[in-house]
Structure 1
Amino acid sequence: MAWIQLSSPHAHNRITTDQVMRQVLLACIPGILALTWFFGPGILINLLLSCFAALTAEALVLWLRHRPMSVLKDNSALVTGVLLGLCLPATAAWWVPLLGGFFALLVGKQLFGGLGQNPFNPAMAAYAFLLVSFPLQVSIWPQPVTPLSTGDASWLHSLPGMDAMTGATALDAWRNKGLLMAEEFWQDESRLAPEMLQAWASVALAWLLGGLYLIHRRIINWQLPVAFLTTLFIVGAFVWGWDTSHYAPPWLHIGAGSAVFAAFFILTDPVSGATSLRGKIYFGIGTALLVIAIRTWGIYPDGVAFSVLLMNFAAPAMDYYTRPRVYGQARAQRGIRKEKQS
């Protein structure tokens, strides 16, 4: 008689939602510091405004639905406001993070029933809404400077509504290089200054540090970020190798945009993403493929937000076809099970 090793039917985890959200907020600190250092204190103002709008919208819906205000203590609305605020440039007008915060909670979350019911990532839904509605406000970032690298107060000019030296991001600059060859583009500092690449690479490393902290604390699994970043690099290298003069190199896909931030803080959303381990891997691979497609042939230079939202559509199907083995069963039942005919 053969014995089948089965897993236990119960899983005990003492960590609560508010504790998870606090860990995510702690993991965001390195990225917040890096963005503030290179792009100015406008990042902090965006965070304050987006968080205020998110918490206000959540409280308003709780009041209208006669729910206790203690729900705010789970910190989910605060995390949504933080993730949205970190996506916005430091020089964005003050009403941009406010409008985004209200949209994220009212439309992206509470419209579907609240925490655990939203099919789309609220922060990415709000960012996509802002990007489509106000592309200049959302896509133009200030040029990276630091207080130690300049003798004047230019670092303080990166505030909402103030004049500052702004320009396209590295990915946007590459997209708009026209018919220039790659060698000509890299030599033209007016299009892509070395300080810009250094700044975004440093920010990416800060997000990597925060992501490793979440993995160490077992808040997220390592498989999904690795699947996303690996696919992004491999497919990006393949496309780049097809035409190195007109397609972005793979390291630019990883370090010059929001790829690392999305890998650890956006794709790992337990509500809008896939839940099974194999589904998470497929989710990361599919998102990376869409990012490469949008960045290479689409009209938006980054494309992470739209890729995540598109994959949110596919997350239920991925969970359906990648269901793990149920306790008491010898193997997993995936896909449509055909009933035996009598």
Structure 2
Amino acid sequence: MPNVTETITGPDGAQALILLATAGATAASWDSVVSPLAEQFRVVALAPKGGTLDELGAQVIAALDELSIDRAYIAGAGIGGLTAVWLAIHEPRRVSRIALVGSALGVSSGSAVDTWITPALAGRDAALVAGLQAQMDTVGEIAEVDSSALAEDLGRVAALTLVVAGAEDPLAPADAVRAFASLIPDARIVVVPGAAHLVAVEQPAILSRLLLEHFGSAATLEVGYASRRVALGDAHVDRTIAGITEFTEPFQNFLTRYCWGEVWTRPELSRRDRSLATIASLVTLGAEHEIGIHVRAGLRHGLEVQELQEVLQHLALYAGLPRAFGALQYVQRILIEDGLLPASPA
């Protein structure tokens, strides 16, 4: 595996999201936003070594190949954002959507922590300053990257693009970021207050919401099937696909795009909470034929056996004793089959 790969986390089989660090930083510069992103995506944080944009792009492609990732969402900070643009231009089949954070033509790599975060934050968090300085010291001196060649090709970016600027960024000022974004077709620009160059460090809640909104709203079959596999497992989805007929295909495509690609990937609820809500709904409806797959999905998403026991008791009050009791027997059978409960003496 190329030495640019530093962090991999998130559900196996989920849509890949690549995070590219800015020049001089390590993948740790993304740490504050990784957890909420990993709720929905297989997150791979990379810190390509210095070089031209061609060389940086080649390093990312090599990492994707090593990880068997055919196509990915890509978010990059600073030079990492310019690398994402290069990939969208030169390797469009490998890129779905891109997000650029603190990126502009002619952006400097910066050589001091006070260009990465606002003076206000630096003044109140000495430990953070020390950590960022350690990243700079680890990476060492980074040569400036010539981004001028990108200018003439920005109109070729077909990937849907989010551009984020820190309102107090001295390396990529907001006006320069706006000018950069204006050259990319249909790019959305957001300026984040109270942030300098490393928006992920300074305003992680805002940035994570922006990224989840941008990357999580692509209700394609590809995204839907990836989400469906995370919840239900490869074996179940493979059986479903094998059973699709000409008659059922339109419905299955709709279900996969809308249910799994759009709703299940929304960031406002975790997958665990969506599983709990789904199980409760199915019990209330008496749809026992669907309970089994969602119990197993809930367990994959972090539900505990005791929580399933508790929610069924709670549902006895609101959905009725007969339905809750029937579901209790059904759920117990699933848990016994999966070795999570001992076999019933009966």
User: TM (normalized to structure 2)?
Assistant: 0.28
State which structure, 1 or 2, has the greater radius of gyration over its C-alpha atoms.
Answer: 2
User: Greater strand percent: which structure?
Assistant: 2
User: Greater helix percent: which structure?
Assistant: 1
Q: For CA contacts below 8 A with separation 6 or more, give which structure has more relative contact order.
A: 1
User: TM (normalized to structure 1)?
Assistant: 0.29
